[in-house]
Amino acid sequence: MNRFAELLDRLVLTPSRNGKLTLLRDYFHSVEDPDRGLALAAITGDLNIAAVKPAMLRALVVERMDPVLFGYSYDYVGDLAETVSLVWPQPQRHIPNQVPTLAEVVGKLQAASRSDGPKVLARLLDDASISARFAIIKLVTGGLRIGVSARLAKQALADLGKVDVAEIEELWHGLAPPYTELFAWLEGRAEKPRSAALALFRPVMLSNAVDDNDLEKLEPADYVAEWKWDGIRVQAVCEGGVRRLYSRTGDDVSGAFPDLAAAMTFEAALDGELLVGDPREATGTFSDLQQRLNRKSVSPKIQQRYPAFMRCYDALQIDGEDLRALPFAERRNRLEAFVGTLDPSRFDLSPFVAFSDWETLERLRQAPPHPIIEGVMLKRWDSPYLAGRPKGPWFKWKRDPHTIDAVLMYAQRGHGKRSSFYSDYTFGVWSGPEGSEELVPVGKAYFGFTDEELREIDKYVRDNTIERFGPVRSVRADRRNGLVLEVAFEGLNRSTRHKSGVAMRFPRISRLRWDKPAAEADRIETLQALLDG
Amino acid sequence: MFKAMRASDLLKSRPEGLYCPPGDFFIDPVRPVERALITHGHSDHARSGHSSVLATQETLDIMGLRYGEDFAGKTQAAVPGETLDINSVAVTFHPAGHVLGSAQICVEYKGMRIVASGDYKRQKDATCLPFEPIRCDVFITEATFGLPVFRHPPDHEEIARVLKSAAQFPERSHLIGAYALGKAQRVMRLLRDAGYDKPIYIHGALAKLSEYYQSQGIDLGRLEPGTVESGTKADFAGAIVVGPPSAFADRWARRFPDPISCFASGWMRIRQRAKQGGVELPLIISDHADWDELIITIKETGAAEIWVTHGREEALVRWCELEGIAARPLHLVGYEDEGD
């Protein structure tokens, strides 16, 4: 239990992806079964433990200590789980002679009935160290919030076993905690687990971005072009009555899209893009799609207003036949025939974009017919369906990003290599009537610049600081003073969380405009026009 | 027992600091005074410019290193455990376990005994003498970590986490932020006690004090300046570097490869504190008493009355009330609330 607790403590404060991978890999390497598998399940969200409500936790602790002292403590710390882990009084009567394992803790929590749950939890907290108490409380209150995705945990497993992460994703849904057979395979002690489970995820084929001089080497006739839809890449798999809708990393997202899942009445594995709207009439915008994202439950009203459908790209399996080794042209023929048999309000085909040379395609790419198109895809007619991101068969050729000139407002110190640099920048654009313009923050970016430019901005920040809040500095920015940053971004969403009402997608610094006076930076109306357009 | 003396007549709070009217001296005054008794060398307790200073020899030495030899008109060394008479007030210094030379000051006059503890801790520390509980009528305690959430783990467990991380990330350097007097030397000594025998790189601000600790027989092993002259970036791979916390946000830190920032402080108990400060590896190592140490100490002094200073007075006063011990906050100005 203590090793799991220590892992959580480290992960939550480690910002870098590589640092997290090292910590996870070392943990999986050094901890034995079944503890490591349960830890893995806790991180990927596959561990089922009956939840304890915060009010119950609070009640447990004030039975054991002065409520006034608890109040002072909670006010100071601000986080209930952390406060309880710190103030929980260790009973005088006993010092546990051994630290319980994660498996023992999970076993006791899972075996607890609804009525004796609180008592079981209290006894576990009595026996645990402070860090372990925090980990236990996190397990029972749901959601570890340690900044580690299921995908990252799988990558750490792949590093441990020196296998491709796609292999783990393909296996994943046929496995269950504590994943003993998975670890045995990764450590070379057993064969790769074979799963009899149905409707498993198949690792997705990804594309490479078109580089400046890629196209001149490519023959247009070898390739087919499709629009690149900016929805959610999904895989719909139905097998022997089991239906699953997967994200491109193999997470099961069926629960978020029950309307689409209900229409999956076939025997096949299809690759496509999840979008909203009715494909026979109109495809929704990205803002429409957002109404369906990151929701725990979807009301019938939302489902009706923003119905989910799948725009099909490829067929990996139809009626039990694996098609992945066939050339794209052949798979596409099968797909066209197959999609024709499906509910047309839920499934349609991704149309081809006709072109004869790259110049024609370039013109089409720059002026796509729908706002949710972010460029074109190029696929070789003869390409088999390969897991991962092979170089050559598939390319994405994105529309040029939007850019805006914004003024640097706040800078925050980075981490690791950048811990002595102000490397995370909040920038704003002008708003308000002429003569009393104010900067309103519109986004934050922490890459896109060279190391040399980072040093220059860092110096600028240090020389122009007007206020400090912990690791954040407020930088001089008014009509006469300020550093203008050219910010590139992929799109805009409406946002109720930001004062400006907009949220940028994938913002990065594309150029430093030392030459440009702050007063000439863009206004908020420029962004609003983009939102409405 | 009949007391001819009221506690508040023996020691009282004045703008300059804690004052003893019958003895005519101040304890840890924050402004220059005629006669000052000083508990330890941290700059908020030990200031320069007093006409006369009474403190342990180590504290006097540390003040000399920080302020120059002429930091006071005249000085007198107090020997721990030996009682001095100052205008008929009996004054005794006792070890406080906070940093090298730190002392509690016990004043006794007409049957009334008050112990001003200065800053103190109860965890074992190889760089200074351990705290001695003194029976008294009134105990003046600090309350830097006076909330039940502050529970310092054993320091060797914290040091083990640095060494484990150094083994996990051999290509990176570990920068440990630690207060220049006391904490830094304690951290270095703990590293040595844990078997770390490579050179420890230190920031220039630590050099004089660390040298002084070594001269007092506290072995810190080989210390090297963390300067560019002593190596290129690659040479600092795997290195452990100790410096004042402020240095790590500074350009000074850029000479180290992909550093993991560690901070040795009792505040690191609170995750959000670590997160806000950009600390990746918090080390909960403190030279102040944690909650459990505070309440054990209060009990051990047997004091009927507790005065609580600098820190979170309210929780400790509340705890005393629940235990039936008279307690009140003693509002002293000028001490760093967050001095750890």
Q: Please count the CA atoms within 13 angstroms of the CA of B54 that sit on its side-chain side.
A: 22
Q: Which of A345-354, B196-205, B222-231 has the lowest mean pLDDT?
A: B222-231
Q: Which of B145, B147, B323 is best to mutate for the A interface (most A CBs within 10 A)?
A: B147
Show residues of chain B in contact with A19, CB under 8 Å. 169, 260, 280
In this structure, whether the domain defined by B7-149+288-329 belongs to CATH 3.40.50.620 is answered with no
Q: What are phi and psi of A264, to 5 degrees?
A: -85, 75
Q: In what order do the strands lie in the sheet with A223-229?
A: A208-209, A394-398, A373-380, A223-229
At residue B339, the pLDDT reads 45
B29 has a pLDDT exceeding 70? yes
Q: Is B255 at the interface with chain A, CB within 8 A?
A: no
Question: Which neighbouring-strand residues pair with B52?
Answer: B35, B74
**Top-confidence residue, A206 or B253:** A206
Segments in chain A below pLDDT 50: none
Listed in sequence order, the residues at least 6 apart from A242 whose beta carbon sits closer than 8 Å to its beta carbon are A197, A198, A199
- How many Å apart are CA A486 and CA A19, to the nearest integer? 31
At residue A3, the pLDDT reads 94
At residue B337, the pLDDT reads 47
Binary contact (A69, B148; C-beta < 8 A): yes
At residue A285, the pLDDT reads 87
Binary contact (A66, B318; C-beta < 8 A): yes
B327 has a pLDDT exceeding 70? yes
Q: Which of A69, A125, A131, A421 is best to mutate for the B interface (most B CBs within 10 A)?
A: A69
All structural domains of chain A:
2-141 (1.10.3260.10), 208-398 (3.30.470.30), 402-532 (2.40.50.140)
DSSP string computed for B210-241: HHHHHHTT-----EEE-SGGG--GGGGTT-EE
Q: Is A17 at the interface with chain B, CB within 8 A?
A: no
Mean pLDDT computed over B113-138: 97
Phi-psi category of residue A344: left, alpha or beta, with phi > 0 → left and psi -120 to 50 → alpha: alpha
In this structure, whether the domain defined by B155-283 belongs to CATH 3.30.40 is answered with no
Residues 298-317 (B) with a CB less than 8 A from some CB of A? 312, 314-315
Q: Is B148 at the interface with chain A, CB within 8 A?
A: yes
Give residue limits of the domains in chain B.
7-149+288-329, 155-283
Binary contact (B248, A420; C-beta < 8 A): yes
DSSP, collapsed to helix, strand or coil, labels residue A511 as strand
At residue A512, the pLDDT reads 93
User: In chain A, whose CA is at the least distance from the CA of B248?
Assistant: A420
**Top-confidence residue, A127 or B52:** B52
Binary contact (B151, A86; C-beta < 8 A): yes
Binary contact (A72, B274; C-beta < 8 A): no
At residue A367, the pLDDT reads 86
B118 has a pLDDT exceeding 50? yes
At residue A443, the pLDDT reads 92
Binary contact (B279, A13; C-beta < 8 A): yes
At residue A194, the pLDDT reads 82
User: In chain A, whose CA is at the least distance from the CA of B315?
Assistant: A69
At residue B229, the pLDDT reads 66
At residue A520, the pLDDT reads 93
DSSP string computed for A161-218: HT--HHHHHHHHTT--TT-HHHHHHHTTSSPPPP---SS---PPB--EEPPTTTGGGS
DSSP, collapsed to helix, strand or coil, labels residue A529 as helix
- How many Å apart are CA A458 and CA B86, to the nearest integer? 57
- How many Å apart are CA A377 and CA A261, to the nearest integer? 26
Q: Which of B252, B271, B296, B318 is best to mutate for the A interface (most A CBs within 10 A)?
A: B271
Q: Is B167 at the interface with chain A, CB within 8 A?
A: no
Binary contact (B278, A413; C-beta < 8 A): yes
At residue A147, the pLDDT reads 82
Burial call A421-447: b when 16+ CB within 10 Å, e when fewer: bbbbbbbbbbbeeeeebebbbbbebbe
